Amino acid sequence: MAAQPEAPALREGRIIVPGSSRQLAVYGLFPPAPAQHCMVPAGTREFAAKACGPELLWISFDELCGPGAASQNYGLLPAGPELWVIDGVPSPDPSGSGRATPWEHFAAVLTVLAGRKVTLFVIGTRPMDWASASVQADDVRLQSVFGDIGRLLARLKRVESDEAAAVEGVSGS
């Protein structure tokens, strides 16, 4: 019997909380200046990115997954950047009944990025525990999508304090 293909998962990058300047600098990341902001076309939508270029795409969670987003557009995002930064990622709320859509969009983005084997930095201000949120959620859609996100991000290292970033002492991914 043939083995099932391994589900995509992101292998390179970090989950950084709270996303302080010091934490980001350890990885050579610096918040983009307004002059770096640009529009990124993807199917029927243009996303306002904080920075975009051949090596980097930096975009907010709200822009990528908020109102007007459609999962079918994510596969049409530029394939070139090898490094993605998604900032402003909220802590998953298991009581967020009826608010599964942004998380479903996030899971769709992560699936596309995993298939492209990009390095991803997920930046939020509060701890993000999708596995726990999946177990605690009453909404079946949230249970499923939090589980998917947790699986997609399971291999990324977590940096949850300035001290952890300094101790790790690496630059890049």
Residue 94: its pLDDT value, please?
84
Residue-wise pLDDT for 65-114, tens only, equals 998 888 888 999 988 899 999 999 999 988 876 688 999 999 999 999 99
Closest CA to 17 of 164, 130, 136: 164
Closest CA to 153 of 99, 96, 56, 86: 86
Residue 65: its pLDDT value, please?
94
Closest CA to 18 of 165, 168, 167, 169: 165
Mean pLDDT of the chain: 88
What structural domains and CATH numbers belong to the chain?
12-168 (3.40.50)
Closest CA to 150 of 1, 15, 47: 15
